[in-house]
C-alpha cells in the first residue's frame, strides 16, 4: 500500500507541530530513536499536523499514526475519540501506546509496532 497523499492541516496545527518537536516527552524520544531513519523499514515524521491536530508520529507510506498517551489523556477519552475519528476519515490508521508501556515494556511495544507495520504494508 502506498498512501502518500497530502493530508490537510491548519497553519495553527503546523505551528504547534514545530513547537512540539522541540518539546518531546521522554516516551516520545524513546519511540523516535527506534523509528527514525527507517529502522522499522518505513519513514516516520514526528509531531505531524493533520487537520487542526498534531499526531505524535506519522508514516505517509502506510498511513499509520502512532500516539503516545500520557496521563493527560486519561480524562480526554471523548475528545481523543472525536479527534481520531476525524483523522481516520482521511484513511489514517492509529496505534496507541501509553507512556507506561513505552517506558516499562518497550520490547512489547516494538513487537506490536512491527506487526502493525507489516500488516499495513501488505494491504
8 Å CB contact between 21 and 46: yes
- The torsion defined by the Cα of 40, 69, 80 and 73, in degrees rounded to 10, comes to 180
Per DSSP, the three-state class of 38 is helix
pLDDT grade for 79, boundaries at 50, 70 and 90: confident
Q: Based on the number of CB atoms within 10 Å of its own CB, is 3 exposed (0-12), middle (13-18) or buried (19 or more)?
A: middle
pTM: 0.90
Per DSSP, helices labelled H in 70-105 are 77-88, 99-104
Inter-CA distances, 15 with 20, 27, 87, Å: 9, 22, 18
Domain 11-122 in CATH 3.40.50.920: no
pLDDT per position as a tens digit, 9-23: 999 999 999 999 999
Q: Cell 493527560 appears where?
A: 72
pLDDT per position as a tens digit, 81-122: 889 999 999 999 999 999 999 999 999 999 999 999 999 999
Residue 75 predicted with pLDDT over 90? no
Predicted confidence at residue 37, as pLDDT, reads 80
The full set of domain ranges for the chain reads 11-122
Amino acid at each position: 500500500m502506498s498512501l502518500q497523499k497530502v493530508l490537510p492541516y491548519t497553519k495553527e496545527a503546523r505551528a504547534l507541530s514545530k513547537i512540539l518537536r522541540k518539546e518531546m516527552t521522554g516516551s516520545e524520544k524513546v519511540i523516535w530513536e527506534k523509528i527514525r531513519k527507517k529502522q522499522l523499514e518505513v519513514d516516520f515524521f514526528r509531531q505531524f499536523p493533520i487537520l487542526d491536530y498534531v499526531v505524535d508520529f506519522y508514516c505517509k507510506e502506510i498511513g499509520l499514526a502512532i500516539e503516545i498517551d500520557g496521563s493527560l489523556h486519561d480524562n480526554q477519552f471523548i475528545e481523543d475519540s472525536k479527534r481520531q475519528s476525524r483523522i481516520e476519515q482521511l484513511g489514517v490508521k492509529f496505534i496507541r501506546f501509553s507512556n507506561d508501556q513505552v517506558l516499562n515494556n518497550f520490547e512489547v511495544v516494538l513487537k506490536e509496532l512491527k506487526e502493525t507495520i507489516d500488516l499495513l504494508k501488505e494491504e
